[in-house]
Structure 1
Amino acid sequence: MSHFVRYCYANNLMLPDFDSTHLGKLQESLLAETSSDGLRIRQNNHINAILNSVVGFLVWLQERGDPHTYHNLAGTEPGVYNVLLEPAKNSYGRSYFKHEFSLTKNTPQHHKTGMPQQFIDAIENQIYLEDEQTEKSRASPNGIQWRNYLYERRAFIQWAMLRTGMRPAELEALPLDLNLAPATTKVLYIPTRKLRNDSLNIRPFKLNLDGAFNIQHYLEARRKFCDHLSKSGLASPIPNSFLLTKEGGPLTSRSLSKDFSRLVKRAGLNQDRVCLSMYRHRFITQEVLVHIKEVFHGETISRRSLTNAVVRNIEERIRKKTGHKLGNSIWHYFDTAFDMLGVWGSVDNTLSNLQSLSDAEDQLKKLQRQVKSDRFSKLEISAEISRIEQLVKKIRNNLLF
């Protein structure tokens, strides 16, 4: 709504005078805004969301405001209302108003797609492969210390993105002091990055035991790397940052994204559009499934079973984990959830196996790395690796995606 307010102020416009001409000019101004490199600041879906908010506000003001002043702001009769609307329904049967300034939806390049399992596997395998290659090379002690930490950092980032739906900027700002004892607190304290605000609000994210130990494992690797940097005189003092660079400085979200992009290309995924936001979309889709399951208690449902009240309730519950309002975009996640699973009967099986699969794969990767580095006897843990491999195989056979 801030764009609407600024437009009215800049044009010295009173609310009763706002009409379709002004809505069109507001759309044009939003389309015209570009960044320093000449690219559009907002995609079509973002502009549509802004215009729809303006229309929704006009309808609300017409219903709740002074009937003598705001009686003709927006409606369906030509020549009567300032902004002409057309009633419509989406694929869920949800009612809304169309207007002539809606833009074509974004191209598939901007479609919100969850990270598919085969991409996750390829990236995890690449992280493991690069660590294994470094172990076999004649790298310097300093180089080995860095590569050990780099492996743990990448593995932790992959885990955190999958399990929490965090954005890179939130990973960058993770508070170290609040997260030093996850095995005790069973909580990961995540900063919420507001789009127009530099301040941080901390939200608690509940952990299971495996998740807590995953974070604890990374923190131990970070401590060893910091000890190495301090003893070698390579970095002093070490910053109070959760994620570190090779020199011991704070890892920025930009550097994190660059490292991920290079890793993706080396994993052979350079022909696909793979980005960190896909982890978040996967996380939210899975959360939608979980909450639908709770709301309907296993009943068979269709898209039309999802009323506005149900959807908003689910959005609020998910927002507490993600830290951001989903708004109208949450409808996309319902579409994805239904399309991904095909039939409702498969949800039970999928949800019951996802968590177990990720936990088992995390354990397997750690054990494989311990064997490779000879930190434990191969005979002592080979049976455990075999057991977990069989568990992973069994769970995967039960999953549909």
Structure 2
Amino acid sequence: MNISQLFTEFKHVELPGFVDIEFGTHHGRPKKSFSILRWPNGKPCGILNAWLTEVSAVTTGQTTRQYCVNVTSCLRYCHREDLSFTDLNDSHVYKLVEWLCVDKKHSQFSTSERNNNQVIVIMQTFIEFLLWFQREFLDSAGVVLIGEKKRSARITVVPKKNPVTGEVSYTHLALPPRVAPEDDVRAMPDTYIEKIEDEIFRRSDTAYLPLKAKAKLTNNPTLFLARSEYVYARRMYMKWAMKRFGLRPSELIETSIPMNQNVLSMRMISLPTKKKRRDNAEIRHLKLKPDDCEHIVRYLDERNSFLEKLNQLGQRPLHQHSFFLTVSGTPLTTQSMTKDFSRLAIGAGLTNLKVCFSMFRHRFITKEILVHIKQILNVNKPNRGLLSEPVIRSICERIRKKTGHGSKASLWVYFDAAFDDIELWGGIDETLDAYDTIESLDDEAVRLRHQVLKQEGDDTTLVQLNSIAEQLRTIKARLSKPSF
């Protein structure tokens, strides 16, 4: 399979808007992100790019990029079979769906490239494009490429109405059945977090550097060590912030430096709320504990030290206001942070397991439900019968303000996970103690361990710190769920 990317994303562009005939002026449409597609042979896919231009007028964020990701496989299929869009028919749709379902990962030939749900998303996006193509170009020519059965179209689609929004979308009989996501709301286990922490620590130790990295260290040790220290600080803060606030990756990336310069005095962090179909994200404000402030200030100090070091070495990168930076001092993208986390998970030996940022979010929400059940019901060992629908709605509304969920209903599924925790630990107080106290000690042990190594402390101190970390992990392992 050709794995080269078929789209290019542009940041901060101006697309055609409208012309004011009366005043003879043109008004563009500024977009934070816009993507265009090309065929596998490198030629631009003009008709799809015209569709993406229209899509961008009614969407926000990186929607066009996601649409490009979705239809890339369809472009590859059409190019491989030497088909234009007007050549397609129901038979081709069935073959395309079959290919999407059986296609294997290029690095793991025994593993499917995508599951049924992903195939459905890809095909629904492609169907959306073909319906637009039909309306804009083929209807006027009397050609019926795609439509409902009564139109005798070459591709027959079936309308489907959303019972909640009333919106109508279209599907095809070739699409596979949906599958229930595995561990869809599974919280990130302690053991996974610990393995990722170990991998972050290992990658910061010059003794474990690969040969190519050691060559860079020899050529410019000052720059290399400055980059290494910053990347360590960035990764550790990423892990901590995900665990502490249950953020979406883009919310962490787009955290504002100016808004969070005074966290020590304000005891509050300001975070953007993404996934709201708005170019300008709403800001939510969360209260902080003293330990939280120390984590944030420590990272910002490391970040500032890194930028100062780059300036001293004659490297003055642009966009130094970005919260997360690359090793060159430029803004880190959400995609790059996600790939970096994936590399950490693989390096930690978590290759055949589901490990993703959303699991930190599930962990945070489950913990928040426990906290609010305790506050509202004022009991340590509640049962499900005590939770009436108004109580659940009240808890969901409180948590929604912290997580930025658009709908309270999407939080209901987490209550079962919270009660499972209560049954395991014996009560809410015990559960929250296990979440907070031991985690705090573990974070501090990991930080001191790195600090000693960085300052080349004596071996005895490092052995003691390693022993503390190991004891903490032993305690946590005894308290953890068997599935973890």
Q: TM-score, normalised by structure 2?
A: 0.59
SS in 2 for 1:275: coil
Tell me which residue corresponds to 1:41.
121
| Residues 131 and 151 in structure 1, CA contact (< 8 A), matched pair in contact too | yes
Residue aligning to 1:121: 194
Q: Which residue of 1 aligns with 2:204?
A: 131
Once the two structures are superposed, the pairs formed by residues 7-86 of structure 1 within 5 Å of their partners are 35-37=70-72, 39-41=119-121, 51-54=162-165
1:392 matches 2:468: no
Tell me how far apart the structure 2 counterparts of residues 106 and 172 of structure 1 sit (CA, whole Å): 31
**Do the aligned partners of 1:291 and 1:314 also contact (CA within 8 Å) in 2?**
yes
Could you say if the C-alpha distance between residues 302 and 106 of structure 1 is closer, same or farther in structure 2, counting changes exceeding 3 Å? farther
Q: Distance in 1 between matches of 2:358 and 2:475?
A: 26
How far is 1:370 from its partner? 1.6
Q: Which residue of 1 aligns with 2:184?
A: 111
Residues in 2 aligned to 1:310 and 1:325: alpha-carbon distance in whole angstroms: 19
Unaligned runs of 5+ in 2: 1-68, 75-118, 125-160, 168-175
Task: Give the Å deviation of 1:399.
Answer: 3.5
Q: Conserved in 1, the CA contact under 8 Å of 2:276 and 2:406?
A: no
Identify if the C-alpha distance between structure 1 residues 334 and 389 changes in structure 2 by more than 3 Å, giving closer, same or farther. Answer: same
Contact 2:199/2:348 (<8 A) preserved: yes
Partner Cα distance (1:180, 1:266) in 2:
34
Q: Which runs of 5+ in 1 are unaligned?
A: 1-33, 45-49, 58-102
Report how far residue 181 of structure 1 moved.
2.8
Specify the alignment match of 2:236 in structure 1.
155
Structure 1, residues 98-148: CA drift from partner, whole Å, max 9, x if none? xxxxx9874234712111111111101110111114677561322221111
Aligned counterpart in structure 2 of residue 320 of structure 1, from 396, 401, 418: 401
Q: Report the alpha carbon displacement of residue 196 of structure 1 after superposing the two structures with TM.
A: 1.2
- 2:381·2:422 contact (CA, 8 Å) conserved in 1? no
Following superposition, the deviation at residue 383 of structure 1 comes to: 10
Change (3 A) 1:314 1:200: same
Structure 2 match to 1:47: none
1:234 aligns to what?
315
Conservation of the 8 A alpha-carbon contact between 1:172 and 1:251 = yes
Aligned equivalents of 2:304, 2:244: Cα separation in 1: 23
Distance in 2, matches of 1:383 and 1:182, equals 34
Output the CA distance in 2 between the equivalents of 1:219 and 1:279. Answer: 22
Please report how far the alpha carbon of residue 233 of structure 1 lies from its aligned counterpart in structure 2 after TM superposition. 2.1
Q: 1:348 to 1:398 in 2, by over 3 A?
A: farther
Over 3 Å counting, the alpha-carbon distance change for 1:296 and 1:262 in structure 2 is same
Deviations 1:42-81 (A, max 9, x none): 999xxxxx834258x9xxxxxxxxxxxxxxxxxxxxxxxx
- Name the structure 2 match of 1:353: 434
SS of corresponding position for 2:413: helix
Measured in 1, the distance between the counterparts of 2:412 and 2:245 equals: 20
Give SS of 2:427's match.
helix
Structure number having the greater strand percentage: 2
In the alignment, which residue of structure 2 is the partner of 1:80?
A: none
Which amino acid letter does the alignment assign opposite residue 108 of structure 1?
Answer: P
Local SS of the residue matching 2:350: coil
Paired positions, count = 316
Alpha-carbon distance change, 52 to 115 in structure 1, aligned in 2, over 3 angstroms? farther
**Distance change >3 Å, CA 157–CA 299, structure 1 → 2:** closer
- Decide whether aligned partners of structure 1 residues 42 and 299 sit closer, same or farther in structure 2, where only a CA change above 3 A counts: farther
Q: Do the aligned partners of 1:135 and 1:144 also contact (CA within 8 Å) in 2?
A: no
Q: Comparing 219-228 with 151-160, which one deviates more in the overlay?
A: 219-228
Deviation (angstroms), 1:367: 1.0
1:20 maps to none
Aligned-residue sequence identity (percent) comes to 34
Q: Is the 8 A contact 2:325 2:332 kept in 1?
A: yes
Give the distance between the partners of 1:303 and 1:370, measured in 2 at CA: 46
Q: Write out per-residue CA displacement over residues 340-386 of structure 1, whole angstroms, 9 at most, x where no aligned residue.
A: 3435733221112311222212211121112112266677x669848
- 1:282 aligns with 363
Once structures 1 and 2 are overlaid, which stretch shifts more, 133-142 or 212-221?
A: 133-142
CA positional deviation for 1:35: 3.2
Q: Is the CA contact (8 Å cut-off) linking 2:186 and 2:362 kept in structure 1? A: yes
User: Is the Cα contact below 8 Å between 1:226 and 1:238 reproduced in 2?
Assistant: no
Distance in 2, Cα, partners of 1:299 & 1:367: 35
Aligned to 2:420: 339
Q: SS of the residue aligned with 2:326?
A: coil
SS in 2 for 1:125: helix
- Which residue number in structure 1 is paired with residue 293 of structure 2? 212
